[in-house]
Structure 1
Amino acid sequence: MTGIWYAVGVGPGDPELMTLKAVKRLRECDTLAVPHKDRDQCVAYKIAVQAVPELAEKKCICLPMPMTKDRDLLEQSHSEAVRRTEDCLRQGENVAFITLGDTTVYSTCLYIKERLDEKQYHTELINGIPSFCAAAARMGIPLVNGKEELHIIPASYQIEDALEQPGVKVLMKSGKKLSEVKRLLEKQGRDVKMVENCGMESEKIYGSIKEIPDEAGYYSLLIVRDGK
């Protein structure tokens, strides 16, 4: 009998924000899978092991997931991750693949799930608290209120058209484009707040566009409203 593959969202950074279900699946799994070449350097692992210390003693497979738009490199890494995961599932091991935030929002785990589903393995997604919900809570502001719409936008791509949508915009994955995104938002007179490394020890909160630096870490999230 083959094992079950779980994608487990560990939330944005604070281990206390992990769900009871996520903790239970991690405690019960036979094998832990981390999206990194080195378990101890994986941000998701550093979060999860604080809530589930016994993870340090579990069998672990490291599945490097390069941050690139190169289709060939992505295909190669995803195929290798599936191959190594299958080896465990065929032995009847339940595998928990940990991922930051929520498993359904821009998560690498979805590429693995799609391939395992095609091979008819049993897969499940375990939700985690999304970073944009945690960021709004850390700043003590509503994400959306009343009739406001919410738009989740990957800021590493073209965002001009998306910014014209009504309501609140969440810009994720700004990365190296932060300075460019900042200039555009400043020019448009937007009301912008940003949280860098939400829930982590290195967390920083910026209450206005003028406070936001031109460079920040990969885990930086902007909440954008029309100017007042």
Structure 2
Amino acid sequence: MSDSIVTAKIGTLYGLGVGPGDPELITVKAYRIIRDTPVIAYPRKRMGDKSYALAIVETFIDTSRKEMVGLTFPMTRDAETLAREWNKTIATVYEYLKTGRDVAFVTEGDPMLYSTFIHMKRLMESLHPEVRVESVPGISSINASASRLGIPLADGDEIVAIVPATDDREQMRKALIEHDAVIFIKVAKVIDLMIDVLFELDLISKAAVVHKVTGQEERIYTDVASLRGSDLGYLTLMVVRK
């Protein structure tokens, strides 16, 4: 009898969007994969930090029956630090995948819209092309904010933009001038500048700010001018509908 070579099955890496905060906004497909997947990975800024995405899924799964893997994504622009941490992250996840276990990486919102999963997908496919990577869409904070505010983002031939808020004043002005509706994500760090721009364009009454939309800590602000000098927190966006 000739010797046979058995190739170990490689697990699948899932990027699961778990929605903006309300656990009831998780899709049926994402719930099924979380329920059936033995390894749940989740993002955190540093060791010991609470993960917002994990807090969402903890409400409906028994994490004691899962292999829970916290992945640290430091908030830095230092290339050397980022490369080291990302390589460590991919190596950690691959240790589970190479044994045939599927891994579900949970992320708030949608995994293919300004998500940590985007880089994870690229790097995993580059370093381990044998791994199947699948993205499962989720409801983004952008969609959820429109519903909570009762503001349609676009109708008919209107144009809507999603813009990372920065301190580039002219770019922020241009985005507002050229579009019917603009969602500024990560707006907390430049809220004073954005208020100034809104006043300049006579749009202050057309703006609203939402923090951790649909979550237990949700805060909605329609008097945007009153937010000058406020510390709003990371998961904050602004909707401007002209």
User: Shared fold by TM > 0.5?
Assistant: yes
Residues 161-217 of structure 1: CA distance to partner in whole angstroms, max 9, x if unpaired?
Answer: 333322211000123222222222222222211111101122111124324343211
Show the counterpart of 1:74: 82
Which of 1 and 2 has greater Rg?
Answer: 2
2:73 corresponds to which letter in structure 1? M
Establish whether residue 185 from structure 1 lines up as the match of residue 195 from structure 2. Answer: no
Of 149, 162, 174, which residue of structure 2 is paired with 1:152? 162
User: 1:54 aligns to what?
Assistant: 62
Distance 2:48 2:18 in 1: 15
Partner of 1:206: 221
- Report the counterpart of residue 211 of structure 2 in structure 1: 196
Q: Provide structure 1 residue ranges, at least 5 long, that are not aligned to the other structure.
A: none
Matches within 5 A, 1:105-184: 105-118=113-126, 119-120=128-129, 121-156=131-166, 158=168, 159-160=171-172, 161-184=174-197
Q: Secondary structure at the match of 2:72?
A: coil
Q: Which moved more, 1:209-218 or 1:171-180?
A: 209-218
Closer/same/farther in 2, CA of residues 18 and 157 from structure 1, 3 Å limit: farther
CA contact (8 A) 2:38 2:102 kept: yes
Find 2:50's aligned residue among 17, 25, 41. Answer: 41
- Could you tell me whether the CA contact under 8 Å between 1:8 and 1:98 is conserved in 2? yes
Residue correspondences, number: 225
Structure 2 contact 167–193 (Cα < 8 Å) conserved: no
The letter of the residue matching 2:239 is I
Give me the identity figure in percent. 31
The letter of the residue matching 2:68 is: C
Deviation (angstroms), 1:157: 5.7
State the superposition RMSD in angstroms.
Answer: 1.7
Q: 1:22 is paired with a residue of what secondary structure?
A: helix
- 3-state SS of paired residue (1:78): helix
Name the CA distance, whole Å, in 2 between partners of 1:186 and 1:149.
Answer: 22
CA distance in 2, matches of 1:128, 1:212: 29
